[in-house]
Amino acid sequence: MQHSRHSLNPYYLGLKIFEDIEKHWNNPAPEEKERHGQVPGRGRKKIFEVRENDADISFIRNYLTKDLVNELDLYVFEKKGPE
């Protein structure tokens, strides 16, 4: 799958979100271990849990992080008009 700077491929975005979920659940930060009781190495299990329980909208709302938005360069802001 390919990323384009001019359009959003929803399959690419979904894949990247799943990869991010797996990465974070395989190697949780110390505060995530404490706060949520996350156990390292559970990334694949979490992916299947998310796939089973979340619809498209809740998947994006719950798992698209600011870091991933920045990494994928998804946010574009440009000023239009005199304002």
Global pTM value = 0.78
Q: Using CA atoms in the order 9, 15, 18, 19, what is the torsion angle rounded to 10 degrees?
A: -120
**pLDDT tens, N- to C-terminus, the chain (83 residues):** 656 667 889 999 999 999 999 999 999 888 888 887 778 899 999 999 999 999 999 999 999 999 999 999 887 667 777 76
> What is the chain's Cα-based Rg?
15
Long-range contacts of 67-74 (CB under 8 A, 24+ apart): 67/20, 68/16, 68/17, 68/20, 72/3, 72/13, 72/16, 73/5, 74/8, 74/13
